[in-house]
């Protein structure tokens, strides 16, 4: 029986009603109304977690994104400027909860003065910039050169970016109003055929911090905090078969995270078997969770006994890693210009890296950053783990080249 805890409007308010009201309020705070512009998980309900990285100077704002419960963090970084105010690198969805967490910083450190879009191809980053900027009418928006959209290349203002406040990042960082605190290096636009790829790495001199978008990641041992707050994807992938129930244990959280990483990087690693649809449907009849959330019991995966070694090899003690899709389909289209960009970035004396995905901050040196791109060098040995697990991406690459959809890879340097 519910126990009355207070009186409102002349009637008793029960514990159950209070919890329901709080849940509804949280849902509204996390509501992302424009989810349909990029309809991926978690759709219209996006939780935000703020973390102070460098005391009184750098904060990260994490949300999640993914498909088929293969979800990873997506991250915005906010940095306090020496002269007052804040710079935002790679905005995330400006939900009520996110804006409230930002406003707490604004009240202490001043307005958001600059918003940076550091990519031309990452739709999961571009889609938030316009809505985010509309909440901060005093902020200048600076974007990576050579922006494009598909299937029609539209003006930036048509993509929601404020026309009167949006500017293109010049090649020379000293020509920007934040150039006295930041250096940046633009990876020259790589023509892929159907589209283009470019990224801007920012270096914050006072804190010796490097900001990158997609080029570099590090995989944490434990599930990131934002995924611990969104447990269902972890527990969904922790199962060995559809008939297993969803069970929240620390072991299942860890197992789910390790498998999500293998999916996210390899799509179909060699330690995974995909079941035939007939067998998948037969197993779904005995599934413990046949709800819509559980994809009606469909679970077409079967992991080999050595699957965990695949994660250990992939993580490699948290080394800096260029994602296999970038190695196989993108950066190898322009190895010389990528290495030129890497060499420029490696001249900065950074001590930590904050990427937009997976772990952050990462304690790392310029030497370690440079080593992560050795796959573009002819003198570097082939990564046996990547070669073994990357069969699907390699097949996709061969097919796209054969159909002349993308350009062939260029020789290593």
For residue 23, what are the contacts with CB-CB under 8 A and spacing of at least 6?
none
Q: Is residue 399 situated within a structural domain?
A: no
DSSP 65-91: EEETTEEEEEEEEEEE-TTSSEEEES-
Per-residue model confidence (pLDDT) at position 148? 86
Summarised one tens digit per residue, pLDDT across range 88-121 is 999 999 999 999 999 999 999 999 999 999 999 8
Range of the domain at 290: 227-305
Q: What percent of the chain has pLDDT over 70?
A: 93
* Position 367 pLDDT exceeds 50: yes
CA-based torsion, 236, 240, 241, 244: positive or negative: negative
More confident residue, 77 or 398: 77
The reply to whether 249 and 197 lie within a common domain is no
In a domain, 27, yes or no: no
Structural domains counted in the chain: 2
Tell me how far CA of residue 28 lies from CA of 31, 55, 147, 225, in angstroms: 5, 30, 33, 21
Give the list of residues 6+ apart from residue 405 with CB closer than 8 angstroms, or none: 193, 194
Q: Is residue 105 part of a domain?
A: yes
C-alpha–C-alpha distance, residues 244 and 241, integer Å: 6
Residues 259 and 367 in one domain: no
Indicate if 349 and 233 belong to the same structural domain: no
**Mean pLDDT value of segment 327-343:** 96
What is the DSSP track for 335-396? HHHHHHHHHHHTTS--SEEE-SSSS-SEE--HHHHHHTTGGGSTTSPP-HHHHHH-HHHHHH
Asked if residue 378 is part of any domain, the answer here is no
In a domain? residue 412: no
Percent over 90 (pLDDT), the chain: 79
CA 177 remoteness from chain centre: 28
Q: Do the domain assignments include residue 93?
A: yes
Q: Give the per-residue pLDDT at 10.
A: 47
- Strand arrangement of the beta sheet that strand 209-211 belongs to: 182-191, 196-204, 209-211, 352-354, 362-363
Task: Please check whether residues 88 and 134 belong to one and the same domain.
Answer: yes
What average pLDDT does this structure show over 137-154? 89
**Residue range 194-205: mean pLDDT, rounded:** 94
pLDDT at 149: 82
Token representation of residue 142:
């600076």
Per-residue tokens: 163: 């026309």
Tell me if 17 is assigned to some domain: no
The answer to whether residues 168 and 238 belong to one domain is no
Q: What is the DSSP letter of 113?
A: E
Indicate which CATH number applies to the domain containing 180: 3.60.15.10
pLDDT band (50, 70, 90) for residue 19: very low
94 and 232 together in one domain: no
Mean pLDDT of 164-172: 95
Per-residue model confidence (pLDDT) at position 393: 87
Span 257-283, pLDDT tens digits: 999 999 999 998 889 999 999 999 999
CA angle at residue 79 from 76 to 81, to 5 degrees?
150
Give the pLDDT mean for 232-254. Answer: 95
98 and 208 part of one domain:
yes
Residue finishing a domain among 305, 338, 357: 305
pLDDT at residue 320 greater than cutoff 60: yes
With b meaning 16 or more CB within 10 Å and e meaning fewer, what string describes 162-189?
A: beeebeebeeebeebebeebbbbbbbeb
- Give the angle subtended at the CA of 377 by the CAs of 123 and 395, to the nearest 5°: 55
pLDDT, tens digit (0-9, with 9 covering 90-100), for 30-46? 999 999 989 999 999 99
Residue 2 has pLDDT above 50, yes or no: no
**Whole-number mean pLDDT of the chain?**
91
Q: Looking at residue 9, what is its pLDDT?
A: 46
Task: Give yes or no: residues 131 and 234 share one domain.
Answer: no
The residue ranking higher by pLDDT, 373 or 382, is 373
* pLDDT-based confidence at residue 23 (cuts at 50, 70, 90): low
Last residue of a domain, one of 305, 339, 354: 305
pLDDT of residue 4: 45
Average pLDDT value for residue range 346-356: 98
Average pLDDT over residues 305-328: 94
Asked if residue 65 and residue 144 are part of one domain, the reply reads yes
**Residues 292 and 336 both lie in one domain:** no
Q: Are residues 92 and 157 located together in one domain of the fold?
A: yes
Write the burial class of residue 331 (CB in 10 Å: 0-12 exposed, 13-18 middle, 19+ buried): buried
* Residues in Cβ contact with 391 at an 8 Å cutoff, skipping those fewer than 6 apart: 268, 270
Residue 3 confidence class, pLDDT cut points 50, 70, 90: very low
Mean pLDDT score, 76-85: 97
User: Are 260 and 335 members of one domain?
Assistant: no
332-371 burial code (b ≥16 CB/10 A, e <16): bbbbebbbebbeebbebebebbbbbbbbbbbebebebbee
Q: Is residue 37 part of a domain?
A: no
Question: Would you say 245 and 357 are in contact if contact means Cβ atoms under 8 Å apart?
Answer: no
Expressed in angstroms, the distance from the first to the final Cα of the chain is 72
* This prediction's pTM: 0.91
């Amino acid at each position: 029986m519910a126990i009355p805890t207070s009186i409102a409007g002349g009637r008793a308010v029960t514990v159950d009603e209070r919890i329901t009201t709080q849940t509804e309020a949280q849902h509204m705070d996390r509501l992302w109304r424009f989810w349909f512009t990029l309809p991926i998980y978690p759709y219209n309900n996006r939780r935000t977690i703020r973390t102070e990285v460098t005391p009184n100077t750098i904060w990260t704002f994490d949300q999640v994104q993914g498909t088929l419960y293969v979800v990873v963090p997506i991250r915005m970084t906010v940095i306090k400027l020496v002269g007052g105010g804040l710079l935002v690198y790679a905005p995330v969805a400006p939900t009520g909860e996110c804006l409230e967490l930002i406003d707490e910083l604004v009240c202490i450190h001043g307005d958001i003065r600059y918003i940076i879009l550091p990519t031309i191809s990452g739709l999961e980053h571009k889609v938030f910039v316009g809505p985010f900027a509309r909440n901060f009418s005093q902020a200048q928006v600076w974007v990576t050169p050579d922006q494009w959209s598909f299937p029609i290349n539209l003006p930036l203002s048509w993509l929601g970016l404020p026309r009167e406040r949006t500017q293109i990042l010049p090649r020379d960082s000293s020509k920007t109003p934040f150039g006295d605190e930041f250096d940046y290096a633009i990876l020259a636009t790589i023509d892929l055929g159907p589209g283009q790829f470019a990224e801007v790495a920012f270096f914050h001199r006072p804190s010796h911090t490097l900001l990158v978008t997609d080029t570099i990641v590090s995989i944490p041992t434990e599930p990131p905090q934002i995924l611990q707050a969104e447990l269902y994807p972890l527990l969904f992938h922790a199962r060995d078969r559809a008939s297993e129930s969803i069970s929240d244990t620390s072991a299942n959280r860890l197992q789910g995270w390790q498998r999500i990483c293998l999916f996210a990087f390899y799509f179909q690693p060699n330690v995974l078997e995909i079941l035939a649809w007939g067998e998948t449907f037969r197993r779904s009849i005995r599934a413990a969770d046949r709800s819509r959330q559980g994809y009606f019991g469909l679970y077409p995966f079967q992991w080999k006994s050595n699957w965990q070694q695949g994660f250990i090899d992939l993580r490699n003690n948290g080394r800096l890693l260029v994602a296999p899709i970038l190695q196989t389909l993108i950066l190898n289209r322009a190895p010389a210009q990528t290495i030129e960009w890497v060499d420029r970035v490696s001249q900065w004396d950074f001590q930590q890296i904050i990427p937009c995905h997976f772990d952050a901050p990462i304690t790392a040196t310029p030497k370690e950053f440079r080593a992560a791109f050795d796959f573009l060098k002819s003198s570097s040995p082939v990564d046996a783990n990547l070669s073994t697990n990357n069969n699907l991406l390699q097949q996709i690459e061969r097919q796209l080249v054969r159909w002349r959809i993308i350009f062939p890879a260029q020789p290593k340097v």
